[in-house]
């Protein structure tokens, strides 16, 4: 049976409040049969769920496109819900039924439609968070009601004393002066005829709270403010709008202080019961001020909102040698703790949050630097007990030191609330080594905890910034594990906004480090690498289109540096950050910075040329291809001896030369052999930092040293990925030796235990060991590449990835005794795959219980050296053979 499984609009199911003029629709098709390709589709968009008021019908389109089909009807109207359905045809299979109707709803499309005014409590905000309220009446029966809201700062919206929605830390963090997202809430079912009240709590957030290690405040403005607009659509056809305006009143409440790094101070005795509900006497509230500010930079929320995604119950209650009571959550997590307490009014409970205990088992917070991660709660003395969780802060922690808790401290009273941007988890990996599986767990948790509206370096100390280098090295792993195109496209727009006039890219996005902090190689290259990786994973051309100017500006920036246009040997660079071949006391590895800079220059120029080609900018594609060749030549002249020795005898130099294709033919073999030698000489240990680590295993595996790559990944002694796993890590560490073998710490100065950069080994686990990859010619997994690379170090490895076409699977296992290899794959409808069966010969392969030659769905079989290469259509296949 052919059927349509899920229809999405701009990557989301039933999005409410979007502002994409021509949204794109995607669907997955399911079939029990093999080798199924869509031959035609039909899309209908209507104003009603019965599809009688059509605004667009594609008609039957002969096409296999099932991803990113753009709306082609009349302009979409503001605040309007559209219903959507799809059906498809496939050869031999006939036509599907119409998909279950889904919908998408437009937000406020024109800035003129904002009648709301920005309102603020005072011109100088006190520390306590602001409360804003307004009573209103619903006069008739409601047909639908929507609130559009945003803030300078962070806000929580309330209606009649209850929270609206479950999003946290709205509106998130952007380059606010350029794009400020607003959120849309459907409150239809909360509004009956009669009296109601809107309430807003405002905190400082990223907008004006301290950010960065210098503790700078007011980076984007010095006043919290809210913008709220409620649209009431009555059943009788009339309408009303309740907006933020001079009728609102303001006060403060129990949240005495709440900041991203600091934590929260809350005095429950100052609660104003039902302050955001009708009937509250707001005589003590003051008038609000109106702020003159246009609404031209408002954009609909595009990226997945932040939510409480998970809850964790504590693992243990510890009594430390220093006498502290410490709760162990069992997982280094990001979010906060919710707790229950029964205490007399005035009882003060404090929670301190830390990632690790020191080698004596004591609570350790030095690595947080100036971030306090402190929650202080003062009880109001409620007889039935009190439940608290903070509002406008988050902590990176595994351990919670509790002080002042009245009575028996019980773990059951504490719950870890895990927050992050609510992207869909799309990747799974496992293999025969439990330690490597724990590594994958740590990679996933590193991603969760650092995808908090912005891809951050770390979630605990006084940074939590959108470091471009970190994002760039991790993006390939990230797009496998999660569906993150809109998470990144919002951030990439900020990157373009914050890019310098000369094209230089700030070290962090949004840029809060000032006008000088930009232009490092391997960091700024995020401008090019991230859009390209998103394109490969999701086949989304629009991301390339909208980033193209920014990508080009970065490459041209490099081109303009120094006096040799093909070499980058000037300016500031982070180099192979945190590499182990650094000089004593330095963070910067031994690989020459100009080698790294020129290698990345080549890589970014290559990707820019490819991007120009995808966008049919033929002349520019040609130009950048020529640039790329010039840079490669100069790299060779400068960094490779005539007989093929890489001038810098470091692992990272060899990794970059191989990865970015800067050495040719027999030079390649020599480079790879030297790299393998460097690693063997070092006792199968790496020395690489941020720049060399991500590609280290990939270039080994792809250049004849897969066994060395496997040994490196399975290495448990310092330095290695599994060293931290053996030390009990539940996330990825910033330093290979965050905790040394004697239990002491690397340093307090810069020692994060939740830094995803080295989690970039995920790309090798999924893409090389388990062997699932995209094809740049048919991006978004339209054509899938499967080429598992078994090794004696593992007996099986498998991946699953929920692509836009549906679930892709690839797994291999080898029986030790018989040497029998089994490779199972899952190929979604409407895609094709190239599958390489390693060590197979055509005559002796079975698929299921038939010889390969008789299997359905196989388009072609080619013997390639010792491997067998197959072209197959959709379906589930199990290949078995004796590997040679
Ligand atoms: C951050 C990094 C970042 C680096 C720049 C650090 O403080 O945590 O991850 O990339 O600075 O070199």
How sure is the predictor about 126, in pLDDT bands with cuts at 50, 70 and 90? confident
pLDDT score of 816 more than 90: no
The verdict on 640 and 575 lying in the same domain is yes
Token pair in block for residue 845: 């392969």
Token pair in block for residue 851: 């010889």
- When mean pLDDT is compared across 119-128, 139-148, 259-268, 556-565, the lowest value belongs to 119-128
Q: How far is CA 267 from the centre of its chain?
A: 35
The best mutation among 469, 474, 524 to test binding of ligand 1, ranked by most ligand atoms within 8 Å of the C-beta, falls on 469
Q: What is the CATH number of the domain that holds 313?
A: 2.60.120.260
For residue range 150-198, what is the model confidence (pLDDT) as tens digits? 999 999 999 999 999 999 999 999 999 999 999 999 999 999 999 999 9
Judge if the beta carbon of residue 463 lies within 6 A of ligand 1. Answer: yes
Q: How many domains does the chain have?
A: 5
pLDDT score of 143 more than 90: yes
Judge if the beta carbon of residue 474 lies within 6 A of ligand 1. Answer: no
The best mutation among 212, 463, 738 to test binding of ligand 1, ranked by most ligand atoms within 8 Å of the C-beta, falls on 463
Do β-strands 850-851 and 846-847 pair in parallel, antiparallel, or remain unpaired?
A: antiparallel
- Residue ending a domain, choose from 272, 303, 334: 303
For ligand 1, atom 3, name the residue with the nearest CA: 467
CA of 712 to the centre of ligand 1 (A): 24
How sure is the predictor about 747, in pLDDT bands with cuts at 50, 70 and 90? confident
- Residue ending a domain, choose from 386, 405, 420: 420
Q: How many CB atoms lie within 10 A of CB 281?
A: 8
Helix axes 593-614, 618-639, angle to 10 degrees: 160
Q: Check 93, 156, 734, 847 and give the catalytic one.
A: 734
The verdict on 491 and 632 lying in the same domain is yes
CA of 629 to the centre of ligand 1 (A): 31
State the residue for tokens 């060749």. Answer: 629
Token pair in block for residue 360: 């004596």
Identify the pLDDT of residue 294: 84
- Residue ending a domain, choose from 88, 106, 124: 106
The verdict on 396 and 476 lying in the same domain is no
Judge if the beta carbon of residue 467 lies within 6 A of ligand 1. Answer: yes
The verdict on 34 and 183 lying in the same domain is no
Identify the pLDDT of residue 37: 97
The verdict on 40 and 118 lying in the same domain is no
Judge if the beta carbon of residue 487 lies within 6 A of ligand 1. Answer: no
Task: Identify the CA nearest to 822 among candidates 751, 766, 877.
Answer: 877
For residue range 84-109, what is the model confidence (pLDDT) as tens digits? 999 999 988 899 999 999 999 999 99
The verdict on 194 and 271 lying in the same domain is yes
Give me the residues paired with residue 7 across strands: 27
- Return the SS3 of 675: helix
What average pLDDT does range 715-737 have in this prediction? Answer: 97
Residue 584 bears catalytic tag = no
The parent domain of residue 16 ranges over 3-106
For ligand 1, atom 12, name the residue with the nearest CA: 574
For ligand 1, atom 2, name the residue with the nearest CA: 457
CA of 733 to the centre of ligand 1 (A): 13
Q: Check 259, 302, 463, 826 and give the catalytic one.
A: 463
Q: What is the CATH number of the domain that holds 699?
A: 1.50.10.10
Residue 463 bears catalytic tag = yes
For residue range 585-617, what is the model confidence (pLDDT) as tens digits? 899 999 999 999 999 999 999 999 999 999 999
Q: Which residues contact 482 (CB under 8 A, 6 or more apart)?
A: 423, 424, 425, 426, 427, 447, 451
CA of 285 to the centre of ligand 1 (A): 44
CA of 167 to the centre of ligand 1 (A): 29
E runs forming strands in 404-551: 414-421, 424-425, 427-431, 451-452, 454-455, 482-483
Q: What is the CATH number of the domain that holds 799?
A: 2.60.420.10
Q: What is the CATH number of the domain that holds 73?
A: 2.60.40.10
Q: Which atom of ligand 1 is nearest to the CA of 458?
A: 8
For ligand 1, atom 1, name the residue with the nearest CA: 457
Q: Cis omega (within 30 of 0) on the bond before 510?
A: yes
For ligand 1, atom 8, name the residue with the nearest CA: 457
Can you list the alpha helix ranges (DSSP code H) found in 103-144?
none
Q: CA separation (Å) from 371 to 329, 388, 393?
A: 20, 21, 11
How far apart (Å, rounded) are the C-alpha atoms in residues 161 and 272? Answer: 11
Report which secondary-structure segment, H or E, holds 860.
strand 858-864
The verdict on 469 and 552 lying in the same domain is yes
For residue range 496-540, what is the model confidence (pLDDT) as tens digits? 999 999 999 999 999 999 999 999 999 999 999 999 999 999 999
The verdict on 445 and 353 lying in the same domain is no
CA of 722 to the centre of ligand 1 (A): 22
The per-residue pLDDT of the chain, averaged, comes to 97
State the number of CA atoms in the 13 A half-sphere of 755 facing the CB: 25
Identify the pLDDT of residue 751: 96
The verdict on 141 and 228 lying in the same domain is yes
Q: Which atom of ligand 1 is nearest to the CA of 757?
A: 9
For ligand 1, atom 9, name the residue with the nearest CA: 457
How sure is the predictor about 83, in pLDDT bands with cuts at 50, 70 and 90? very high
Q: Which atom of ligand 1 is nearest to the CA of 577?
A: 12
Token pair in block for residue 105: 């709803």
The verdict on 562 and 653 lying in the same domain is yes
The verdict on 314 and 346 lying in the same domain is yes
pLDDT score of 125 more than 80: no
The verdict on 492 and 583 lying in the same domain is yes
CA of 577 to the centre of ligand 1 (A): 8
């Amino acid at each position: 049976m052919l059927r349509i499984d899920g229809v999405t609009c701009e990557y989301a199911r039933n999005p409410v409040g979007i502002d994409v003029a021509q949204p794109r629709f995607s669907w997955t098709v399911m079939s029990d049969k093999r080798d199924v390709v869509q031959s035609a589709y039909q899309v209908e968009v209507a104003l009603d769920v019965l599809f009688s008021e059509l605004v667009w019908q594609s008609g039957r389109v002969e096409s296999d496109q099932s991803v990113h089909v753009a709306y082609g009807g009349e302009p979409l109207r503001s605040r309007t819900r559209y219903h959507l359905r799809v059906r498809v045809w496939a050869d031999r299979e006939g036509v599907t039924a119409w998909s279950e109707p889904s919908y998408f709803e437009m937000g406020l499309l024109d800035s003129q439609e904002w009648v709301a005014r920005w309102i603020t409590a005072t011109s100088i905000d006190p520390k306590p968070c602001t409360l804003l309220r307004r009573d209103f009446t619903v006069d008739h029966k409601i047909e639908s009601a929507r609130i559009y809201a945003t803030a300078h700062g962070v806000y929580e919206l309330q209606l009649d004393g209850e929270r609206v929605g479950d999003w946290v830390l709205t509106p998130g963090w952007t380059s606010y002066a350029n794009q400020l997202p607003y959120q849309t809430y459907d409150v239809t079912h909360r509004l009956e005829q009669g009296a109601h009240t809107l309430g807003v709590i405002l905190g400082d957030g990223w907008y004006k709270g301290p950010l960065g290690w210098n503790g700078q405040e007011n980076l984007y403005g010095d006043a919290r403010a809210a913008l709220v607009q409620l649209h009431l659509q009555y059943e009788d056809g009339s309408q009303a709008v309740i907006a933020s305006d001079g009728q609102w009143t303001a006060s403060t409440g129990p949240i005495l202080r709440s900041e991203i790094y600091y934590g929260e101070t809350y005095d429950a005795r100052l609660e104003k019961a039902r302050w955001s509900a009708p009937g509250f006497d707001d005589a003590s509230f003051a008038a609000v001020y109106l702020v003159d500010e246009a609404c031209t930079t408002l954009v609909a929320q595009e990226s997945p909102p932040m939510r409480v995604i998970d809850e964790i119950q504590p693992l243990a209650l510890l009594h430390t040698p220093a006498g502290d009571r410490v709760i162990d959550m069992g997982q280094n997590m990001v979010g906060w703790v919710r707790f229950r307490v029964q205490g007399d009014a005035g009882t003060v409970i404090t929670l301190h949050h830390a990632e690790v205990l020191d080698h004596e088992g004591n609570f350790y917070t030095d690595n947080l630097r100036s971030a306090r991660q402190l929650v202080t709660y003062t009880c109001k003395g409620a007889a039935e007990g009190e439940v608290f969780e903070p509002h406008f802060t988050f902590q990176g922690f595994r351990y919670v030191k509790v002080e002042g808790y009245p009575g028996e401290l019980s773990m059951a009273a504490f719950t870890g609330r895990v927050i992050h941007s609510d992207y869909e988890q799309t990747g799974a990996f496992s293999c025969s080594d439990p330690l490597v599986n724990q590594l994958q767990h740590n990679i996933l948790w590193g991603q969760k905890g650092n995808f908090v509206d912005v891809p951050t370096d770390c979630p605990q100390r006084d940074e939590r910034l959108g470091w471009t280098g970190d994002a760039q090295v991790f993006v390939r792993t990230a797009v496998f594990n999660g569906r993150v195109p809109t998470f990144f496209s919002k951030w990439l727009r900020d990157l373009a906004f914050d890019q310098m006039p000369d094209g230089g890219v700030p070290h962090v996005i949004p840029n809060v480090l000032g006008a000088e902090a930009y232009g490092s190689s391997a960091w700024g290259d995020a401008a090019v690498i991230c859009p390209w990786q998103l394109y490969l994973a999701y086949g989304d051309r629009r991301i390339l289109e909208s980033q193209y100017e920014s990508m080009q500006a970065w490459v041209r920036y490099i081109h303009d540096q120094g006096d040799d246009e093909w070499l980058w040997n000037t300016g500031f660079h982070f180099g192979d950050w945190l590499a182990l071949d650094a000089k004593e006391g330095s963070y910067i590895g031994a690989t020459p910075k100009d080698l790294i800079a020129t290698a990345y220059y080549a890589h970014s120029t290559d990707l820019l040329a490819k991007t120009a080609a995808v966008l049919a900018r033929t002349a520019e594609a040609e130009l950048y291809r020529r640039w790329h060749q010039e840079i490669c030549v100069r790299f060779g002249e400068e960094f490779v001896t005539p007989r093929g020795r890489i001038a810098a005898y470091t692992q990272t130099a060899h990794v970059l030369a191989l990865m970015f294709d800067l050495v040719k033919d027999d030079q390649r073999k020599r480079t790879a052999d030297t790299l393998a030698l460097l690693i063997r000489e070092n006792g199968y240990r790496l020395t690489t930092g941020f720049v060399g680590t991500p590609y280290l295993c990939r270039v080994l595996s792809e250049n004849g040293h897969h066994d060395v790559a496997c040994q490196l990944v399975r290495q448990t002694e310092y330095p290695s990925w599994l060293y931290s796993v053996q030390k009990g890590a539940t996330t990825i560490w910033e330093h290979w030796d965050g905790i040394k073998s004697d239990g002491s710490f690397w340093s307090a100065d810069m020692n994060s235990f939740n830094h995803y950069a080295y989690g970039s080994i995920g790309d090798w686990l999924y893409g090389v060991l388990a062997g699932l990859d995209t094809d740049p010619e048919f991006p978004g997994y339209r054509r899938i590449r499967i080429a598992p690379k078994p090794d004696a170090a593992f007996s099986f490895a498998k991946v699953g990835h929920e692509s836009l076409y549906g679930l892709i699977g690839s797994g291999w296992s080898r029986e030790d005794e018989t040497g029998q290899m089994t490779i199972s794959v899952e190929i979604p409808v409407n895609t094709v795959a190239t599958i390489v069966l390693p060590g197979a010969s055509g005559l002796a392969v079975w698929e299921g219980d038939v010889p390969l030659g008789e299997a359905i769905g196989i388009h072609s079989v080619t013997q390639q050296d010792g491997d067998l290469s197959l072209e197959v259509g959709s379906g589930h296949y199990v290949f078995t053979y004796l590997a040679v």
